[in-house]
Amino acid sequence: MALDDIVLPGSRSGHRPVQLITPVPGLVVKTKDVKGKKIFINLVMHDIVKMPVDVNMCEVAREHIAERGLSNLRVPLDVSDPRDTEDKRGDKATAIDVMFNTFLLDRAMHGQGEIEGVPTRIYFQQELASLAIKDVEDVLKVGIDRNNFKILKCNYKGGAKPEPFPYVEGAWDKQQESSKASTRKRATGASEGLTGPLSSNPPPIKKDDIAISEAIDADEICAVSTTRKKPSNVVKKGFLMGDGAGKLYKNDDGTYGSNEQAGAIDSSEQMRQQQLAHLPESLRKKCAIVDTTKMSKDEIQDAMSQYANTGRVLSGPAAPGGSARNDPQYEREFAKLYKKAEAEAPEPTFALGGLRSSGKSRIKELQHKCSPIHEEEQLTGFALSVSLPDGVSTIEDVDVEVSAFKVEIKTRDGSHALNLAWPSPVDPDAVSAKMKKKTKELKLVVPVAVE
C-alpha cells in the first residue's frame, strides 16, 4: 500500500495532517542498563525541533547557548520506539533514537572554545547525553548507568539510517508547548523528559509499519475540557449531621467544645509550630521563626554575617536555639556511619582512581604509568603504559574504554582492571593504542582536548 493511499488521523474535518520526518544522524552514546545489557542511544537532529526555551517558554538565541550553554533552559527533544540490535560481538543490545535541534548536535560535534571551563564540544556531548539517558530511562522503564557512558566514533547504530518520527505541523509552537498536558494528545512523540517543555504520552499508532498519530483541534479540546461538570463535595453523615444531630457541650464563656489547650501555648509559639508542622519534631525544636520585616537593615546584615562565619546566629533578634551546623557531635556520628557503610558495601568492579575495598580484593589493579607529553613546554597529551598479565596474548583479550575524563581497561576474564582519571580533559576520538606482545605492554597515546 502506498503512503498516499493511507488516510492518517487528523487529515479530515480540518485536522492538521501527520507527517513523517527523517532526522540526520549525529552521535552515538553507548551505555548499559542495571542488568548489564548494552544500550545504543542515537543522538539525531532535525530543524523541526525547537531551540531550547527559558522559564518564560521563549526560545533562546543561539549566541546565548553558544556562550553560556544549557544551564536553566528547557531542551525540546523527541524519543523513538526502542528496537533490538546487536553489538560488535553479536550480543543482544537495544537501540533507540533521541532527536534534538540541529544547532545543539552541531555544537556537540564541531563546537569551538570553552563553556564553564570545559571544551564546548565535550560540554554539549555530556549535556545532550545526560538529557537523552533520562528520557530513555522513562521509555524503557529501566535504570541506566549515567556515569560510565561513552561517545562512539560512529554516527548511528541499529540500522542503516534513523527511524522516521511522526510530526504534526505547529506541534512544536510556543502556544502548543504551553498548553496543559491533560488536554493534549501526543502528535509528535515529543517528551517532557528532564528539561523538555512537551508532555510524554503513549507511542504513536502503527499501520502497515507506518507510524501515525492523532491530533485534536483547539475547539475540540475546549469542548472536552469545559463540558465536564465539577463534582460536588461529598458530605458524610455523622453525629453532628442529620435530624438527630447532637451538639458540643457549652462552656462558661458561651463557646462550644473543649478548650483545654487554650492558653497552654502562647500565640508566637503556636505560629511557630504551625509554620514548621511539616518538619520532624526533633528538628522543629532547633528552628526559630524570624520576621525580617521587623528587623532593621543592620540587624539583618549582622545575622547573615554571624551565620556565614560560625554556622549559626548567636545574638540579635534572629538568634535561634539549637546546635551549629558544624556540631562536632554530628561530625563524629557521620564518620561512624560512613565507616560502617563503607565496610558493609559490596566490592566495586571499578573505583575511580584505583581499586578500593575493605577486604582483600578479588580484582587486581593493572600496573600502569601515565606520563604527560609536552611540545615546546606546552602540554599536548598523555602516554599511558599498562603492564598486562600472563593470560593476555592479544589486544582482543582486553576491553579499553576511553572518554574525555577517564580510561577504563579490564581483562576479559575479569581478573585485572584499571580505572584512571585523566589529569585534564582529552580527545577520545584521537586516541591510539598499541600492544607489544613480547613485553605484554599496552600503550595508549591520547591528545588533550583542543579548546
Q: What is the per-residue pLDDT across 53-111, written as a single tens digit (0 to 9) for each?
A: 998 889 999 999 998 899 889 999 999 999 999 988 888 999 999 999 999 999 999 99
Model-wide pTM > 0.75: no
Is 89 domain-assigned? yes
At residue 334, the pLDDT reads 77
The yes-or-no verdict on residue 252 having pLDDT over 60 is yes
| Cell numbers given for 355 | 581499586
Higher pLDDT pick, 117 / 206: 117
Q: How far apart are CA 59 and CA 51, in angstroms?
A: 6
**Domain endpoint, select from 221, 247, 276:** 221
Residues 6+ apart with CB under 8 A from 396: none
Residues 163 and 28 in one domain: yes
**Is there a contact between 39 and 93 (Cβ–Cβ < 8 Å)?**
yes
Is position 382 within any domain?
yes
Tell me the helices (H) and strands (E) count for the chain, helix number first.
9, 21
Q: Which residue has the cell 501515525?
A: 212
Q: How large a percentage of the chain has pLDDT more than 90? A: 28
| Grid coordinates given for 241 | 449531621
115, part of any domain: yes
Residue 209 belongs to some domain of the structure = yes
Judge whether residue 190 has pLDDT over 60: no
Q: Are 410 and 423 in contact (CB under 8 A)?
A: no
For residue 327, how many other CB atoms are within 10 A of its CB?
13
Q: Which of 221, 250, 282 is the last residue of a domain?
A: 221
Q: What is the DSSP string of 343-396?
A: HHSPPPS--TTS---SS--SSEEPEEEEEEEEETTEEEEEEEEEE--TT--SGG
The residue segments making up the domain with residue 163 are: 3-221
What is the predicted pLDDT for the residue at 363?
Answer: 84
* pLDDT over threshold 70, residue 215: no
pLDDT, residue 76, reads 92
- Tell me which amino acid residue 316 is: G
Q: How is residue 24 written as a grid cell?
A: 540526520
**Distance in angstroms (rounded) separating the CA atoms of residues 96 and 42:** 6
Could you tell me if residue 254 is inside a domain?
no
Q: How many domains does the chain have?
A: 3
When computed from its CA atoms, the radius of gyration of the chain, rounded to whole angstroms, is 31
Residue type, 169: E
- In this model, does residue 436 exceed pLDDT 60? yes
- The residue written with cell numbers 540526520 in the block is 24
Range 250-279 average pLDDT: 63
In angstroms, the CA 74 to CA 192 distance is 9
Locate cell 584505583: which residue? 354
Q: Which of the pair, 182 or 447, is modelled with greater confidence?
A: 447
pLDDT at position 7 over 50? no
Q: Tell me, what's the pLDDT at 272?
A: 62
- The pLDDT of residue 288 is 62
284 lies in the same domain as 408: no
Instruction: Give dist(CA 29, CA 26) in Å, integer.
Output: 10
Q: Which residue has the higher pLDDT, 208 or 135?
A: 135
Residue 242 lies in a domain: no
Q: What are the pLDDT digits (tens) for 128-167? A: 999 999 999 999 999 998 888 899 989 999 988 898 988 8
Residues 51 and 146 in one domain: yes
Flag whether pLDDT at 194 surpasses 70.
no
Phi, psi (rounded to 5 degrees) for 333: -65, -40
Higher-pLDDT residue of 244, 103: 103
Same domain for 171 and 60: yes
